[in-house]
Structure formats: C-alpha cells, structure tokens
Structure 1
Amino acid sequence: MSGREKKLPREARQRTGSIHEIRHLTLEEVDLEAEYEVLQTICEVWTGKIMLVEHRATRHEVILKALHKDATSKSDFLREFHYSVFLSPHRSILTAYDVAFRADDFYVYAAEYAPFGDLACYVSNGGIGERNTKLLAPQLASALDFMHSKGLVHRNVRLDNILVFKSDLSRVKLADFDQTRPVGWRARRAEEWPPYTPPEVQTEPKGRSYTVATAHDTWQLAVVLFVCLTGALPWQRADASDARYAAFAQWRGYRALRAPQRFGEFSLRLQGLFRRLFDPRPRRRAAVTEVTRHLAHRWMARGASAAGAAELDPADATSVCYSTWSVHSCPREKNAVLGQLRALGLETVVDRDAKRLAGSLAEDDSQ
C-alpha cells in the first residue's frame, strides 16, 4: 500500500474519537493507476465501482470502493467512510482501512478483500440449510447489535452486503455502510428494495421522511434468515397489496390457522421467532439478539425440505434466483462459463506470480 498506509496501525486497531462526529477530511488527489494495479472490477454501477487491486509497491491486495463525485456528495462519502472505519474493529464487520483519497472523478477508500464473494452466491432455490444458517445468524446478530449499541442502524442488510471469508460460512462479515444513520435520524423515503423494506417504511410515500430505528435492521435480518432457510423471499413487498404478506399478516394475527407457504416448513419455535421478528409494530419488534436465543432449538420441521422442494415453482417470483442481485454471479452460472472456456483450451485461472514475472520480463525486453 502507499506510504500513507504504511504508517497506519494494524487493521483491527482501536479507533479513537466519537462515532457520531463525522471527520471532515481533506482528500488527497492520487493517481490510482500509478499506485495500484486493478486485478478485477468486481462491481460497476452508475454510482461507482468496487475493484480488487494490488498496490504496486507492496503487492498488498485490497478492495477499493470508488464513488462517482456526480452521484455521491463529499459529505455522504465521508459519512460512509467514517462509519466503515469506526465499526470495523468488530469481528463480523468488514475492515475498512483508514485511507481515503480522490482519484479523477471518484472518491475512494480501501477495505479488506472477501475471497469467497457474498452470501448471494451461496443461496439456491433450496436455501443453504439449517446448519449453515445457524452458523451465520449469530455473526450477523452480533454485528448489528454492536452497531445498535453505538446508536447506529445499518438499513441495508441483505445477501449481497454479507461477505464470506470462509467457504463453510463460519466467517462472514457485514459490509456496505452507505445507508447507515444514527437512531432517530429523519431519513427520506427513496428507492428502498421492497422485499427487504419493513412496513413502517414501505407505507410511506416516496419523498416523505421517516424516523430511523433499530427495528429496521431486525426486519431485514429476518428476511435474510428466511431466504437462507427456504431459498425464497417471504414476499415482494410488506403491505396488503402483496398476497403473500397479507396471508402472513392474517396468520401472524391468529386470524388464520394454517401457516402461509414456507412458514409451514419451520418448527413451532422458529415460527414464534419469525412472528416476533416480523412484528409490523416497530416498537414491539424483537431485538436482533433474540435470534441467538433460539440456536439450540430445531428450526426446520422434519421433512420440510422435501415438502418445500415439491411446492417450489421453477418460475416462482419469490425465488432468490429471480428476485435478488449480487455483485458476483451465481456459482452454477460461473461453472458453466468456465467449463466452456476450458473446453476451448482457454486459461481460466490467473497465476498472479507468473503474471508479474511475465510483466517484469516484458519490461526488461523493452529496455
């Protein structure tokens, strides 16, 4: 990394100062291509891009999150960077390095690389199973509880913002703090993704403000757990216009005896937990830590997997294959493409040491 970065303490160091006092930094202009070699553009959208890079001087690999100046104000960038740095000492929150700069038309900061992508890569139509869901649930609950203890709300808990550091899901980290705000903040209703939006926000007209509360994260965590256990979203939007949500609301209010589709796959204990996590009244909604109290109990009813597979329509609009988006492609799609490339005799794995050696030899030949 650069000279500025070498002076920094280790990445998990204790930060000083107040988490609610956003630092107003003077961002140095950096020639990104001169200092870093871009190994892969992981994601690129109109607001910016995420790149895996290697620092040319130290050969250290990091992620750079680059946000377009036209799409992100400097104050919003500094807020995201500030929260990312101050929260990163937690084991289950992505480590952000205390380095930010300007590069051409971008504001940029550095974070650690997640070698196994995001959680969306792992969820298929059948979910990831009870065991794996129970591995990641306490990690996410702990990360969110840590944020809530600091008076902050993530507001964007979903599959592609949960990064994987061990392929067996025993180590995941919460990422992406661009929507993070203090408890009590008046946020403006915008283009929140409906399947993850709690009813108290969903019912507000776009452009109107609402009060940020920790119950927002509880709702989104419950959606993530539901998707991990079933491979499908519980509904497309949490209001009466959605038939699946309307059926859930009736069942939750004990106005219907039969559990809605897929909720019937859960044990009675887990059904009770989801009733509390999906309470439409934010002040009565359970805290995220409620999840950890149920880890010792069975979550899926016996024979639920077979029943769920029989019910699932291949074109089900609530299937994660049709209703989630990840910055990484589906592993099945990746393998299909890689198989075709190998059949053509094309290289599909990059040996970075060999690549650097070849580059050095090419430079020597040109001199």
Structure 2
Amino acid sequence: MAPVAHGVESLLDRMVSFSSQGLQKVDIQEHFLIVKELGEGGFGKIFLAHNRNTGQRMALKVIDKNRSSQRSFLREFSISFLLSVHPSIIECCGSAFTTTDHFVFAQELAPLGDLLSMIIPNVGIPEHAVKRCAVQISSALEFMAAKGLVHMDVKPDNVLVFDQDCHSIKLTDFGLAKVKGTVIRGKCGTTSFMAQEMCIVEISDGLVADGSLDVWSFGVVIYCLLTGELPWEDAIPEDVKYKRFVEWQSNFQMHKFPETLTKVGSGIWWMLGDLWAIDCTKRCQPSEVFKYLSESWKAETIRQGDEDPIEKSYYVQSHEPLCEASHLNTSQDSDTTFRSTSGHLVIDTSVSEFDITPEPQKYNMAEALIVFD
C-alpha cells in the first residue's frame, strides 16, 4: 500500500477509535424534531430534522444496526468528517450517536435534494448546469484522491443540490468508500456506473481500488446529465451499446459510429473517450473536463431552432425525474428491501415551515441492478 494510503488508513483507524469512545446513546426525539423522511436505502434512511436546542435544520442519516456494524458506521462517519472541509463535499456536522436500533450522524441539509431528481428523462439538464456540475464533482474527486480515498459509488443520487442552476452541488455518501490500494473481492457500487473492470471482477482475483474507478463513473454521470439516459446498462461485451463503444475505442475510423456518442456534442467525444478508457492506466484525471469547457456538450441536433427545448423544459416542475430522489446510498442487492425499525421516530407533520425539500418522485425507467461488496 502506498505511503499516502497507509497514512489515511492509520488516520481513519485513530478517528474510529476516538469516535467509539465518545459514542453516546441518546433519545433522538428529545434532541430533534423529525419533520419528514427524505430518502431510503439498503442500510437506513435520511430524515429532515430540526435540532431542538440550536434551531438548525439538518439531515440525519439513520442506519439500521442490523445492517451495519459500529465500526463500519464510524468509518463512514470519519471519512465524511475528514472530507467535509471541501466546498463540493457535503458537510458533516461532527455529531454521531446511537439509539436503541440505529446509528445516527448529522449532515448539512441540501434544499433541492439530489441531482437525480433534476434529470428529465431523455433530455437531461441544461448544458451550463452540466458544466458546473462537472467542474465541482471533478474538484471533489481529485480532493478525495489526494487524501488516498476512492468513493466507489459516484452517481447522480450521491450528488446533492443547493440551487436550481447548480452553482453549488456536493458529493455525498461515503458508505462504500475505500482507501486506495484496498483489494476488492466482489462488485461494489451501482452496476450501470461501474467501470468495465469492476463489472467483470472475480472474487478469486480481486481488484485494487483506484481513483480510475471513480473517473469512469464520473463520465457516466456527465452523460446522464447531458442526455437524461444511461450510455449502456452494463459495461460488458454482452451489452450491445457498450460493445460498439469499445469497437470505436479500438478503431476511431470505423464506419459504424457508436449510438451512445451521437447523443452528445462531438466536441466532447474525446473527453468521454479518455474518461472511459478501457485500459484503466490510460484513464484521464477528472480535471480533464476543464479542457473542454469551451466546447458544446449537448448534441448538435438538439440545438437546432430558435429556442433550446432543454432550457425551456428544465424549469417545468411537472417533469418526471430519471429516478427517485434520495440523500442516501441505495447500494444494495435488488432482492433486498430495507425493513425499518424506526417506528420509534415520530414525524411531526405540523411543522411544514421546516419542510423545504421536494417530495421524491417516481421515475419511468427500469432501475439498474445495484450490488455491494
């Protein structure tokens, strides 16, 4: 393991040890007014809460003790706290505690939910917003890499939004994060966003966690934001869209151009080609996107006419999002459902003045299979 990675592993161990000593069991209702549920995932839920002592609104990540060990919980809390100094990473409030059935820690509240809830199917979001998102996510990923960490589940669900035009977005959910150099013995993350080497990983061989895995996912996120759809379902030879993309990577002069790239601007074909380099050692850094900010990222056919239909439809509030909004990592086996034991949490529906987060909406696409290691 590289010196930087070894250093961050040691630091996390110390942070977990320190946090475990001060982890207190509290009555959540005594300290927080629970306003509403914001999201649900494989290991717990996110609630919009109002701190009774300070009056601060925040998001409480509530993790089922039956689905996570104390060490795993404290490790995620420590990673979140360590990274939260970056302006494009969600702020961890530094408060972790337990209840009878749950582990809990507090984060800043994102008023507009996540990026996924903003994506219009087969349309995406405006180009200027995509570029802002790309710049901020790029910065967050390079900061993580400098700390010796790999997110492992970069996707629109895990990017929180603070304003309609995406001037401020923040990467969140570090439940699957790994220290660089960690050997992964099974698939980890969300299938459609996984790098091709992760899609075919064998338990016997394993895969070394590296920032190039996040770079690939970052490219898929950009594509989703631009088009409102996925470039392919799985980065495997059996997937026709992915197979044709690989053929293009191998022969840029081929006559049969991959359908995937026809849906984005030709000025960023090479950018996506570098983000999705089949050989992970040749994959570019996230900051590669800066070289292409002057290019048109949307497909040229969309820009015909006097009015851009994407810009026009972006602010229509009745649109169906690509997927259900969530503050929480939904990385779980598709046959697994979260069985909540949070019946002790009483949601007070009379305090709607605190509720500024839109209700999650259902999506009209088949959800990608999600797996975890």
Asked if TM exceeds 0.5, the reply is yes
2:16–2:71 CA contact under 8 A, matched in 1: no
2:150–2:177 CA contact under 8 A, matched in 1: yes
Partners of 1:172 and 1:281 lie apart in 2 by 30
What are the within-5 Å matches in structure 2 for residues 149-298 of structure 1?
149-190=146-187, 192-205=189-202, 209-254=206-251, 256-298=254-296
2:12–2:75 CA contact under 8 A, matched in 1: no
1:267–1:301 CA contact under 8 A, matched in 2: yes
Partners of 2:126 and 2:149 lie apart in 1 by 30
Partners of 1:117 and 1:192 lie apart in 2 by 20
Percent same amino acid at aligned positions? 30
For 2:118, the equivalent position in structure 1 comes to 122
For 1:303, the equivalent position in structure 2 comes to 301
Q: 1:206 to 1:119 in 2, by over 3 A?
A: farther
For 2:93, the equivalent position in structure 1 comes to 97
The alpha-carbon deviation at position 56 of structure 1 amounts to: 1.5
Structure index of larger Rg: 1
Number of aligned positions between the proteins: 309
What are the within-5 Å matches in structure 2 for residues 79-94 of structure 1?
79-94=75-90
Amino acid at match of 2:167: S
Q: Deviations over 1:201-260 (max 9, x none)?
A: 101136863210000010000000001111110000001010110011111211633432
The alpha-carbon deviation at position 63 of structure 1 amounts to: 1.0
2:119–2:321 CA contact under 8 A, matched in 1: no
The alpha-carbon deviation at position 322 of structure 1 amounts to: 9.4
Partners of 2:66 and 2:266 lie apart in 1 by 50
2:153–2:190 CA contact under 8 A, matched in 1: no
Partners of 2:301 and 2:350 lie apart in 1 by 40
For 2:362, the equivalent position in structure 1 comes to none
Amino acid at match of 2:170: K
Amino acid at match of 2:245: F
Q: 1:244 to 1:325 in 2, by over 3 A?
A: farther
Cα RMSD (Å): 2.7
Partners of 1:31 and 1:159 lie apart in 2 by 33
Partners of 1:62 and 1:56 lie apart in 2 by 11
Amino acid at match of 1:250: E
Amino acid at match of 1:260: P
1:266–1:304 CA contact under 8 A, matched in 2: no
Q: What stretches of structure 2 of length at least 5 have no aligned partner? A: 1-9, 309-319, 328-348, 356-373
Q: 2:142 pairs with 138, 141, 145, which one?
A: 145
Partners of 1:294 and 1:325 lie apart in 2 by 30
Q: 1:181 to 1:28 in 2, by over 3 A?
A: same
For 1:10, the equivalent position in structure 2 comes to none
Matched, 1:29 2:25: yes
Amino acid at match of 2:129: N
2:188–2:198 CA contact under 8 A, matched in 1: no
SS in 2 for 1:286: coil
Identify the range of structure 1 (22-31 vs 167-176) with the bigger mean alpha-carbon deviation.
22-31
The alpha-carbon deviation at position 327 of structure 1 amounts to: 2.1
Partners of 2:42 and 2:146 lie apart in 1 by 33
Amino acid at match of 1:193: T
Partners of 2:114 and 2:204 lie apart in 1 by 31
Q: Deviations over 1:293-324 (max 9, x none)?
A: 211222234324569x9xxxxxxxxxxx7974
Partners of 1:213 and 1:100 lie apart in 2 by 29
Partners of 1:144 and 1:235 lie apart in 2 by 23
Partners of 1:22 and 1:181 lie apart in 2 by 15
SS in 2 for 1:303: helix
Amino acid at match of 2:175: D
The alpha-carbon deviation at position 268 of structure 1 amounts to: 3.4
Partners of 1:211 and 1:191 lie apart in 2 by 12
Q: What stretches of structure 1 of length at least 5 have no aligned partner? A: 1-16, 310-320, 329-346, 354-367
The alpha-carbon deviation at position 87 of structure 1 amounts to: 0.3
Partners of 1:19 and 1:47 lie apart in 2 by 21
